[in-house]
Structure 1
Amino acid sequence: MTRRMPAPLRTLLRQATAFRRRLRRSEATFIILAVVVGSVTGGLSVALGTAAHALQALLFGLPGEMRLSAMPHLPWSRLLALPAGGAVLGLLQYALERWRRRTPVDVVEANALHGGAVPWRDSLSVTAQTFASNGFGASVGLEAAYAQVGGGLASVIGRRLSIRRSDLRILVGAGAGAAIGAAFGAPLTGAFYAFEIVIGAYTPAAIAPVAAAAIAGVATARSLGGVPYLITVSSVGVTRNMDYLAFVGIGLACAFVGIALMRSVSLVEAGVRRIGLPAAARPFLGGLLLMPIAFLSPEALSAGHGALHLTLAGDAPILILCGVLALKWLASSVSLGFGFRGGLFFASLFLGVLVGRIYAGATEILLPGAPHLWTQDAALVGMAALAVAVIGGPMTMTFLVLEATRDFQLAAIVLTASLVASAVVRELFGYSFSTWRLHLRGEVIRSARDIGWVRQLTARSMMRAAPVTAPAAITIAALRRRVPLGSTGRIILLDAEDRYAGIVATTDAFADGVDCDAAAATLARRPDETIDPARNITEVMQVFDRLGVDDLAVVAADGALLGTLTEAHVRKRYANELERSQRELFGEA
């Protein structure tokens, strides 16, 4: 006898079902869900940042609230935490690889290829590795962990509620944006991080939930006493048109520096792989290499929050700035190349400040009689432009500077320089750091814009059953008797082992002057003109364009016939899916 479900549980299930329905019909309900996700994410960001700083304070003896990169000097005994952290991270990576034998999915990849689905194990893996890397002092930031925590939490909640694919992608972006906004104390920065980096587009349907989540995340972080990464700074402002050209030069310089930085990280990583060192041992060796760098300049450690504040407020000579730039660059390349987990978000901000100040100092040296850039404005422009070159998101970085300075005139210059840097990097390189690393793994994405539906539409999923089949050895006369004219447009031929042997157009079999005693195979199209069942819809259309035919057989690796595809059907399906994605973009689906 089947036991009845308890009444409270039945009530809870009915309420959950009703809530799912409201989510699909009501934009206001979805915004409320985004606010809840943003609030929780803001609290998690504060907890993660506080825990990482506490670990650094314990290992490196930091006084009070001082940041690791702001320390004037670190003794060798404290620097032993770097290889020790590498050993811990190596063991953690080894354990995670045995637990989860594939590369974890981050939020950008999830939104681009998987419709916003981020497995909770992947979020846990990325967050744990990033926390260990940053907490033990490696030259990486926590921003990857923040975005993964926010986006991963949103993905888990959204999939539990069975929300639509387009809504799940928006919710993942809202969670990641709320986390970044909470870390920087900047809701506009967080919102545009979601739009440009995680969702990949400014969509009308995403504006309200993403903005609400970012505001909720920042409000929660402030109520919990979270200290934002960027302090409020002042700017002099631009008074001459020539200043715009000078600041555009910073954008150009940052574009080339950003490309070189991304290349250097991948070259170090490739070199480490060629050595043949086990993956679990690489962070330990990387930690050893970081020790002399950190002894020369503690500014090279961690994300660089303290060093960025000191550089903005200080007035160091240009040679010192160049030295710090080189050491931070080297430390970031070693950290990421040797297996420490994290990103270049804040490192690119710090390096951009250095590039901007060096650019201003070089201008003063090379043009001694001309009016000069004010170094702090140049530093802020460089900060945004290099971050755009590496991470992407010109509006994200422009709002970051705007929320730090409250200077709209400077924000316009920052946007100009950022767009220049973005255009040059797209033209010469084509990738941001996150998509570049995915490219090195064999992926083809260049942004978080949803192309997952393209991959899901494979030849196998679109094919139809073969209309009529016949033996390849059959005579044309027998084929005419077997398949009357007008009954079908094509006939699939199979050899003696039932493998695909070509397609015969019915009209060709009934054409005048055909030798009726010849085998039907003499009329068949070449049997190598087939489609692999795993090819996606864009690849299928490329094959049709290349061969110039109207229909193709879908054939397995062993030659077995699986089905057929017509060009008209494939192109109609592509147009329908493209129209559906456009409706989702504008919130009409």
Structure 2
Amino acid sequence: MTRSLLSADQLPVHARRVRAMLVRWIPLLEARGVFMVLLASAVGAIAGTLVTAMSAIVQGLHALMFDVQPGGRLSGMFSLQHPRQAVVPAIGGLLLGMTFLWLKRRKFRTPIDPIEANALYGGRMSLTDTLIIAGQTMLSSGFGASVGLEAGYTQVGSGFASRIARLLRLRRNDVRILVGSGAAGAIAAAFDAPLTGAFYGFELVIGIYSIGNVAPVMTAAVSASLTAEMFGNVPFPLELSGLPDLTPSQYLPFLLLGLVGGGASIAIMYLVTMVERLFVRMRIDSSLRPFVGGCAVGLLSLITPQVLSSGHGALHREFAMNYGIAVIASVFVLKLTASAISLGSGFRGGLFFASLFLGALLGKVFAGVMAFVSPATGIDADVAAVVGMTSLAVGVVGGPLTMTFLALESTRDLTLTGVVLAASIMSAILVRETFGYSFSTWRFHLRGETIRSAHDVGWMRSLTVGMMMRKDVKLIPATTTLAEFRRQVPLGSAQRVVAVDGDGRYAGVLIVAEIHSEQTHPDSTVLTLAKFKDSVLVPTMNVQSAAETFQRAGAEELAVVKDFTDREVVGLLTESYLMRRYAEELDKARRDLSGEG
């Protein structure tokens, strides 16, 4: 079992020695499941350590740049210590722009995040990309840009997990599970919430919950959380006490809040895209956009520092204070603007925690409106904040169970389970049916990718038309008469023949039986009966694109041409064979994900 797991014959010398030592002294490692759990435990400990270190570095930058006192949070300050601190985000943007120039000159590719890696590349991630993203994220958040560190956390957790898995030459599905375990550990350590981290790995990075992945992912999450606690990482819990009992009549308003949160999440994703496109239209060089964005965020921070960084302190402050609806709404608008400007201008980070903060504000605004519209409903503002927090975050981040567990683990109140889960599901359904993307997959869509989740679709890209087509194609000139065709291609000798023009380019598909049964003048050319003249495949098409082409054309068999320009015929492919190969590969992928085989 271990030999197939580690591919010992292909391992580097030092890795083979480590493997031999492990197998000799720990016989249980011959069991793949036990090996993966132990490996995930180590990955979780690494993720917890890295998350703690990144958090400490950012807190150190906040103390240095903004005079944040030990134990305090930048976004929790009531005002900046000095107006000149408003230029700090612009300085951070300038430094970040310099990193963009350096990476451009070194010709670095676009970094791959855990979701993309698991969806397209079997979990393979670059450690260089990981370090770059982590550094840029710490720089962005450390200098006050309105972005969260969670993207950097999951990148380092998954990146190091992928590196370890590749060093040990694990099989494709095991690499994907370990990458998900790294991300799970990172989120668990960041929020002191093992269940949240585990379901983040299941829903967002691996793409499925199964018996085969539950043990390693859960182990990594618990290991990371314990490691972070050991290093004294500040936990996330929201201290909510004295919450009223929920009544059945309150569920309907909270379900409405779930829909409002889902709609708001879609609007936020569109807004970030609009800001990004605005920077492009302004023709500002990409290396200068973070500086411009930093200037704008700095100006907003003069109104309230709650717009700065991820918003941990601001969220706790909103739950601790009883602000009026006008103040809460203004903070919502300011934080939303700052986050959109930060991400749209190129600061590195994500909307994970910003969506939690914005959702909590939205929930409190909703409670205020309901108190005015329907006082008899009796909606508690803190409960509405928790429901709004999860509803909006589900739309932005994805993963209703992830956000539900985050709400429960952060509040330590299980009485909210039903209403939080119901509202999260409503938000998820609305976003999926009307928009179809989370923030991460929406960014992939804007880049031209078709990823909608972390399900492994990389095999679909490798299963191309060129691999499946038949090359023994019978060609005939399109000027051939029907009588001549019947002499050259007797009935039963072939089912289809491809017609080509005088330059050897594709002209259409000829159905042999139809031509033999046609009663038109025998001197007519076969071109008059050619089908699918404008529908062809090319060898580089993947199975999904080819299936869509068959569906549009309504054809059972299509010609394959070298390219769409010269249309030189190189093969034929039948829809039945295409779908059979697709079904075989899909069944294989499902067996791997479920731990079978």
Say yes or no: TM over 0.5. yes
Return the offset for 1:576: 1.1
Correspondence 1:123 to 2:166: no
**441, 445, 449: which one aligns with 2:447:** 441
Question: Using the alignment, how far apart are the partners of 2:494 and 2:320 within structure 1?
Answer: 79
In structure 2, the partner of 1:256 is 263
Q: What is the Cα deviation at residue 6 of structure 1?
A: 12
Q: Residues 233 and 404 of structure 1 are in contact (CA less than 8 Å); yes or no, is this contact kept in structure 2? A: no
Unaligned runs of 5+ in 2: 1-10
Paired residues of 1:466 and 1:492 also in contact (CA < 8 A): no
Q: Does 1:383 align with 2:407?
A: no
Residue 99, structure 1, aligned to residue 101, structure 2: no
The residue aligned with 2:587 is 579
Partner amino acid, structure 2, of 1:456 = S
Q: CA deviation at 1:25?
A: 6.4
Say if 2:368 is the partner of 1:361.
yes
Which residue pairs with 2:93 in the alignment? 86
State how far apart, in whole Å, the 2-side matches of 1:551 and 1:24 are.
48
Match of 1:567 among 575, 584, 588: 575
Take 1:156 and 1:100, find their aligned partners in 2: how far apart are those partners?
22
Q: What is the match of residue 413 of structure 1?
A: 419
- Deviation of 1:181 after TM superposition, in Å, equals 0.5
1:342 offset after TM fit, Å? 0.8
* Unmatched tracts of structure 1, length 5 or more: none
Which residue of 346, 349, 355 corresponds with 2:353?
Answer: 346
1:331 counterpart = 2:338 = yes
Deviation at residue 246 of structure 1 after TM alignment: 2.9
Q: Specify the SS of the correspondent of 2:181.
A: helix
> Is the CA contact 2:469–2:571 (under 8 Å) kept in the aligned structure 1?
yes
Q: How far apart, CA to CA, are the structure 2 residues paired with 1:201 and 1:387?
A: 20
Correspondences of 1:174-323 after superposition (within 5 Å): 174-234=181-241, 236-323=243-330
CA gap of 1:323–1:9, structure 2 versus 1, over 3 A, is closer
Do the aligned partners of 1:472 and 1:520 also contact (CA within 8 Å) in 2? yes
Q: 1:237, 1:409 within 8 Å by CA — same for their partners in 2?
A: no
Which of 434, 454, 461 matches 1:428?
Answer: 434
Mean Cα deviation higher: 87-96 or 498-507:
498-507
Deviations 1:333-376 (A, max 9, x none): 111111111111111111112122222233333345x2622222
Aligned mate of 1:41, from 32, 47, 50: 47
Task: Please state whether the residue corresponding to 1:552 is helix, strand or coil.
Answer: strand
Comparing 170-179 with 481-490, greater Cα deviation is found at 481-490
Amino acid aligned to 2:79: H
Work out whether residues 24 and 163 of structure 1, in 8 Å CA contact, stay in contact via their aligned partners in 2.
Answer: no
TM-fit CA distance, 1:140: 0.3
Query: Which secondary structure state, in structure 2, belongs to the residue aligned with residue 448 of structure 1?
Result: coil
Of 55-64 and 165-174, the range deviating more from structure 2: 165-174
Does 1:150 pair with 2:165?
Answer: no
Percent identity over paired residues? 44
CA displacement at 1:405 relative to structure 2: 2.6
Please tell me whether residue 53 in structure 1 is matched to residue 59 in structure 2.
yes
Residues 407-556 of structure 1: matches in 2 within 5 Å?
407-470=413-476, 486-507=492-513, 524-525=530-531, 527-556=533-562
Q: CA offset at residue 481 of structure 1?
A: 6.9
Letter in 2 for 1:538: Q
CA distance, structure 1, for counterparts of residue 282 and residue 12 of structure 2: 62
C-alpha displacement at 1:192, in angstroms?
0.6
Cα distance in structure 2, aligned partners of 1:311 and 1:503: 68
State the AA in 2 paired with 1:208: A
* Cα displacement (A) at 1:156: 2.1
TM-superposed CA distance for 1:250, in Å, is 2.4
Q: Which sits farther off after the overlay, 273-282 or 511-520?
A: 511-520
Answer yes or no: is the 8 Å Cα contact 2:88–2:298 preserved in 1: no
> Distance between the aligned counterparts of 2:485 and 2:442, measured in 1?
55
CA contact (8 A) 1:234 1:405 kept: no
| Equivalent position SS for 2:71 | coil
- C-alpha RMSD of the superposition: 2.9
* Amino acid corresponding to residue 386 of structure 2 in structure 1: L
Q: Which letter maps to 1:459?
A: V
Q: Aligned pair 1:27/2:33, yes or no?
A: yes
SS in 2 for 1:125: helix
Q: Cα distance, 1:221 vs. partner?
A: 1.1
**CA 1:391–1:512: 2 relative to 1, 3 Å:** closer
* Pairing partner for 1:132 from 139, 155, 164: 139
- Alpha-carbon offset, residue 51 of structure 1: 0.8
Kept in 1: contact 2:93–2:294 (CA 8 A): yes
Conservation of the 8 A alpha-carbon contact between 1:492 and 1:503: yes
- Contact kept in structure 2, 1:235 and 1:377, CA below 8 Å: no
How many Å separate the matches in 2 of 1:586 and 1:13?
26
Larger deviation: 568-577 or 457-466? 457-466
In the alignment, is the contact (CA less than 8 A) between 1:467 and 1:490 conserved in 2? no
Using the TM superposition, give the Cα deviation of residue 279 of structure 1 relative to its aligned residue in structure 2, in angstroms.
0.4
Structure 1 counterpart of 2:422, one-letter code: T
Alignment partner of 2:399 out of 390, 393, 396: 393
Q: After superposition, what is the alpha-carbon deviation per residue over 1:529-560, rounded to whole angstroms, capped at 9, x for unaligned?
A: 32133322222222223323321111022222
AA partner of residue 106 (structure 1):
D
Say if 1:518 and 1:561 are closer, same or farther in 2 by CA, change over 3 A: same
Call closer, same or farther: CA 1:11–1:104 in 2, change over 3 Å: closer
8 Å Cα contact 1:23-1:163 kept in structure 2: no
Match of 2:4 in 1: none
Alpha-carbon distance between aligned partners in 2 of 1:164 and 1:201, rounded to the nearest angstrom? 18
Going from structure 1 to structure 2, the CA distance change for 1:143 and 1:371 (only over 3 Å counts) comes to same
Amino acid paired to 1:219? L
Change (3 A) 1:217 1:362: same
Secondary structure of 2:571 counterpart: strand
Kept in 1: contact 2:161–2:182 (CA 8 A)? yes
When residues 11 and 426 of structure 1 are mapped into structure 2, their CA distance, relative to the original with a 3 A threshold, is closer
CA contact (8 A) 1:235 1:407 kept: no
